[in-house]
Amino acid sequence: MKYVLMFVGTAADQERWDTMSADERAAAMAGAGRWFEEYGRTGKIVGGEQLQGPGTVTTVRSQNGLRVVTDGPFIESKEVIGGFAIVEVKDLAEAQEMARAWPSGPVEVWPAVER
């Protein structure tokens, strides 16, 4: 089964990230790198990316029959999506086990639609 693990944090977390020194950022990324390396070796991670901050997001919405592009995240939220991993595992429990091993911040576990 495929799941998308969404790595989320608060706006304050994003602000801390944006103001970290290069050394602090590298240290913070080391744990994430080990997580991706460990699960990548097992073949459970089949895709994923780190995302740029919410200040870079645009949203396309339908408004009065027209598609309108606006700046900002796709939803009003107090949380920020920092990245995601697409994983292929045997069941939800295994996806949740991977999420529990993530070294920092909350992880949302979204089941993918099977095709």
Q: What is the pLDDT of residues 67-106, one digit of tens each?
A: 988 877 666 667 788 899 999 999 999 999 999 999 988 9
Domain ranges of the chain: 2-111
CATH T-level assignment (fold) for domain 2-111: Alpha-Beta Plaits (3.30.70)
Name the DSSP class of 13.
H
Edge-first strand order for the sheet with 45-50 is 45-50, 79-88, 2-10, 107-111
Q: What is the pLDDT of residues 12-32, one digit of tens each?
A: 888 888 899 999 999 988 999
- pLDDT, residue 6, reads 93
Q: What share of the chain is helix, strand, coil (3-state, %, to 5)?
A: 35, 35, 25
pTM above 0.85, yes or no: no
- pLDDT, residue 44, reads 97
Q: Cα dist. 36→29, 44, 48, 102 in Å?
A: 11, 10, 9, 9
Query: Residue 61 pLDDT more than 70?
Result: yes
